Amino acid sequence: MKIIARCHPLLEPLLPKPVRATHALPDWLGEMPSQIDATTLGGATVRTLKHCPPIIDAMRLGVLILCPTDITVRGGVVSWDWDPPILTDANISRAPIGVHVPEQAEGSPYAGQQLFLKFMNFWTLQTPPGWSLLFMHPQGYPDLPFTTLGGVVDCDTYSDGYVHFPALLTPGFEGVIPKGTPVAQAVPVQKETALEIAAMSPVQVADNRAVQDELARTPGQYRKVFRR
């Protein structure tokens, strides 16, 4: 599965390029210990999130779209120092960020938030036929001063337009969102989903018990046997 990212040739020298998420894992993951003594368990040694493949694999999915320039937030005012060229053959904002008016969230759980940002994206994104992109907050980056809202776009057909990213600014935040900060994670998905619900057969109950017993008995069993 391949995602193709394109930008206007005059912007290409200015923009931080999208990166595969697997190449931009958060620093804390490498710095955290692999195991630690848990005071809540009387000092017993436990493995940390560093040993959780599902969490790590979620961080590695898809690609990250990066903030095009430094964004400063002071006193409720959002500003930047960025002067991209005027594109006479394109219809896209020269501002790296926009805002959503509060009324757009009226009636939703997001109503009353301090500030709705809209990170402008200057890359078109193309997926193979049948594949869409799920855009969401970058996994593994809960400490960012904003939360990107999730959305799905059919980038197999909508491959020549731009997808921008609404985000909720953390209340009280003042400071700089640096150039290159991940603002959205784009994960390929297929939207058609079938669901079948059934009780386990006796054989499946036995197989389930065997898997659970082995997981409890052997550290890293999921990673060693089931992970691809």
| DSSP result, 22-91 | GG---HHHHHS-SEEEEGGGTTEEEE-GGG-HHHHHHHHSSEEEE-SS-EEEETTEEE----PPP-TT--
Sequence-distant (6+) residues with CB within 8 A of 8 are 87, 90, 92, 122
pLDDT confidence tier of residue 59, bands split at 50, 70 and 90: very high
Question: Cα–Cα distance between 121 and 2 in angstroms, integer?
Answer: 19
Enter the pTM of the model.
0.88
For residue 113, what pLDDT is reported? 65
Checking if the pLDDT of 190 tops 80, the result is yes
Checking if the pLDDT of 43 tops 90, the result is no
Around Cβ 220, how many Cβ atoms within 10 Å? 12
**For the ranges 32-46, 63-77, 118-132, 184-198, which has the lowest average pLDDT?**
32-46
